[in-house]
Structure 1
Amino acid sequence: MSDPFYDDLRPVPAFEAFCRAGVYVPVPGDWCVGVADIANSTQAIERGAYKTVNMVGAAVISATRNALEGKAFPAVFGGDGASFAVPAEAEQTARGALRAVQAWARDAFGLDLRAAMIPVSEIRAAGHDLRVARHAVSDGVDYAMFSGGGLSWAEAELKAGRIGMEPAAPGAMPDLTGLSCRWSHIRARHGKIVSLLVLPAPAADPADFEALCGEVLTLTGTLERGGHPMPEEGPDVSWPSPGVELEAKATGKGKLALMAETLFAWLVLTRGWRPGGFDPVGYKRDTALNADFRKFDDGLKMTLDCDAATLARLTGRLDRAVADGVARYGVQEQEEAMMTCIVPSVMQSDHLHFVDGAAGGYTRAAARLKGRD
């Protein structure tokens, strides 16, 4: 991609900045947005397949990233789907990758991944905007933050069937190199793992919603490391890897080969071996640093390790915001968080880790929104 727009955006370290409209810049009008969402994901959760749901959602970003040969582009993971934006020159490449993920989700897991590509100009013609910023979570990784309502509108259009596209032919396989889910689930240490969505009410004053988000972050700021669900030293790892069968379907590797590979990785991470100069302690710490446990995607979306008293204060404040017509919110409580990862190379620090609750997470929180339209 030759368009320098996203490369030229300066990543901002302070997450609190993303509550303010001024940190975002408009996505160029000739760019295109990709949206993807698993139909009937709640039923998949009831079948115990939420790890699979997360893997498919992350695959949207992984396949697009690989198709674009690692070029930076804004994307956000949503639990049961993902959204992204690319310049016009990359639209066909991204479309092909997205259709391949649809086919793979159908063929490998029987999941209906709805997907669409839509021009940013069409989003604005419908009365919405698409603005983006970059949040630096570490020296090696940043994540896109979105505002303006454009992504939410496109996702609603997708779910309503007004936009969409057909999957690739049966047997099509996206390039999912680097996609994995090898880490153990992360147990809550302070109460519950809380998946929290805070979205603006349809007629909310933007200034009131900004102020509310600031209050929410002040409350969660009293939690250890802002509610980060992962210990600072990184997550635990077990063997056999809980996601080995999913990774086999993502990479095309045989299960026995992956079992051997993950056994070696487990030994390295638990025994402190340093093959080829690899630093297992540093890698685990980078994993914690690089995790996307909170994001701004037309609203606050967070996976928090939260005690009962703080959660009560949060929900009490949010109930008042619902009554005042400022916000809608949804909460899902669970015992554990989980991660799905994109690791281009274990020797670099730019690995990505998408965090969600392990018992329905963002999907169940969205189904429980208070203050619906």
Structure 2
Amino acid sequence: MSEDSFYAELPAFDKFSDFTNEAYYAPLPSDWCIVVSDIEGSTKAIEAGRYKDVNLVGAATIAAARNALHGLDIPFVFGGDGASFAFHSKHTTRIQEAMSGLQQIAAENFGFVLRIGLVPVAEIYAAKRRIEVGRYELVTGRCLAIFHGGGLSLAEKWIKQANSRHLIEVKIGSRTNIEGLSCRWNSIPNIRGTIASLIVQKNETTTNAIYQDILDQIGQICGVDIDQINPLNIPKISYQSIRECFFQESRLHIPKWSYRHCYRIFEIIACVCIFRFKIPPIFIDPKRYVKSMRTHADYRKFDDTLRMVIDISAQQSEAITCYLDSLYKKGLLFYGLHNSKDSLMTCYVDDIHEGNHIHFIDGADGGYAMAAKQLKSQIKASST
């Protein structure tokens, strides 16, 4: 197994609930690094109605990293207002350049302070924490990373500390490539009553088996398999206008009117013609692509914390809240749940062929970020 192929060669599992099975995990090599990004003041930005911008900049971390490494298969997790990923330390200079360039885009074009930190995995092991990774296969050729062991949470804690020594230095003039990232679909309405953005984190003394219990209970409350409450409701999706797409994505480039920027404008026009005005293309099957988006949706994940965005009824959301609250009061876990009318989709498309696209899902009006706010308040209350 080569330095770069560690993650790509891990055996994958295709049933989401198997993330509780430790047999599917392997320790990250000690010569790898973890990067965590986070938008400062994301809650205020969301409250001001900028949740689409927050999602776009958060997902840009993944696109910038993947492009910097020329599409190398690396483990990553989208968290709504930020993201996490791991890579071999030999690529550190390249990653730092890409992250610094992304920070400048976030500041100059979005008015966001994007904190990005880098932690060597060796430091996590020196702190007596584990950091293990598994591969959950959405469809053939496209896997999502699952992190386990507490090490990723520790890295995030270190990076979010004031004056953290792990923060990546912003170097003026750094460049980054965010090709493949887009946010061209309108908010997706629910079909069952509400879009619930859910975050659950077990207490340190609680076993991982509780996550399987939670998934089972959610299935019982909803009366269906969790696959069926996927919020990417294909009949409800609609494409934005050229003007809307251009406004959103023109901010992903510094300098403006570069080759990449001009190419993106051409791409936007072509995609709007295909997906909004239904003009038949020559080289792709848009109906097949749209249909496949549901199976390529990243609406559930695990990175030391269970995260899900699901389309359920208001009564089911209330029942799930009551169930989780009972576990919280027993000291078994912390949780956050935020309800909204719609879900949001941010797309990362290597190309539109089978397997080569992924769609990051969050709840509208804040989704994960607002659920995380509730979870953090519970953690804070438990420590006082």
**Fold match (TM-score > 0.5):** yes
Q: Which residue of 1 aligns with 2:213?
A: 211
Q: Which residue of 1 aligns with 2:311?
A: 305
Q: Deviations over 1:60-109 (max 9, x none)?
A: 10011000000100000001110011112222222221222112211211
Q: How far off its partner does 1:27 sit? A: 1.0
Task: State whether residues 159 and 167 of structure 2, in contact with CA within 8 Å, keep that contact through their aligned partners in structure 1.
Answer: no
Q: How far off its partner does 1:52 sit? A: 1.0
Task: State whether residues 39 and 111 of structure 1, in contact with CA within 8 Å, keep that contact through their aligned partners in structure 2.
Answer: yes
Letter in 2 for 1:194: A
Q: How far off its partner does 1:171 sit? A: 4.6
Task: State whether residues 19 and 213 of structure 1, in contact with CA within 8 Å, keep that contact through their aligned partners in structure 2.
Answer: no
SS at match of 1:164: coil
Aligned equivalents of 1:221, 1:62: Cα separation in 2: 36
Q: Which residue of 2 aligns with 1:289?
A: 295
Cα 1:26–1:260 shift into 2, 3 Å: closer
Q: Tell me, which stretches of 5 or more residues in structure 2 are unaligned?
A: none
Matched, 1:192 2:194: yes
Q: How far off its partner does 1:352 sit? A: 1.6
Q: Tell me, which stretches of 5 or more residues in structure 1 are unaligned?
A: none
Q: Which residue of 2 aligns with 1:238?
A: 240
Q: Which residue of 2 aligns with 1:277?
A: 283
Q: How far off its partner does 1:346 sit? A: 3.0
Q: Deviations over 1:229-269 (max 9, x none)?
A: 01256832132464432211114665998666434322312
SS at match of 2:147: strand
Matched, 1:177 2:179: yes
Cα 1:26–1:216 shift into 2, 3 Å: farther
Cα 1:256–1:101 shift into 2, 3 Å: closer
**Counterparts of 1:151-170 in structure 2 under 5 Å?**
151-161=152-162, 162-170=164-172
Aligned equivalents of 1:347, 1:202: Cα separation in 2: 42
Q: Which moved more, 1:241-250 or 1:117-126?
A: 241-250
Q: Deviations over 1:148-167 (max 9, x none)?
A: 11111111222223343244
Letter in 2 for 1:202: E
SS at match of 1:275: coil
SS at match of 1:151: helix
Q: How far off its partner does 1:117 sit? A: 0.8
Aligned equivalents of 1:109, 1:261: Cα separation in 2: 22
Cα 1:222–1:205 shift into 2, 3 Å: same
Task: State whether residues 178 and 252 of structure 2, in contact with CA within 8 Å, keep that contact through their aligned partners in structure 1.
Answer: yes
Letter in 1 for 2:61: V
Q: How far off its partner does 1:368 sit? A: 0.9
Task: State whether residues 233 and 284 of structure 1, in contact with CA within 8 Å, keep that contact through their aligned partners in structure 2.
Answer: no
Q: How far off its partner does 1:32 sit? A: 0.6
Letter in 1 for 2:185: W
Q: Which residue of 2 aligns with 1:58?
A: 59
Q: How far off its partner does 1:170 sit? A: 3.5
Aligned equivalents of 2:207, 2:269: Cα separation in 1: 53
Q: How far off its partner does 1:305 sit? A: 0.7
Aligned equivalents of 2:289, 2:36: Cα separation in 1: 31
TM-score, structure 1 as length reference: 0.92
- Number of aligned residue pairs: 373
In percent, how many aligned pairs have the same letter? 35
Aligned equivalents of 1:110, 1:321: Cα separation in 2: 39
Q: Deviations over 1:283-320 (max 9, x none)?
A: 10122211101111112101111112221221122112
Aligned equivalents of 1:243, 1:136: Cα separation in 2: 30
TM-score, structure 2 as length reference: 0.89
Q: Which residue of 1 aligns with 2:252?
A: 250
Q: How far off its partner does 1:348 sit? A: 5.3
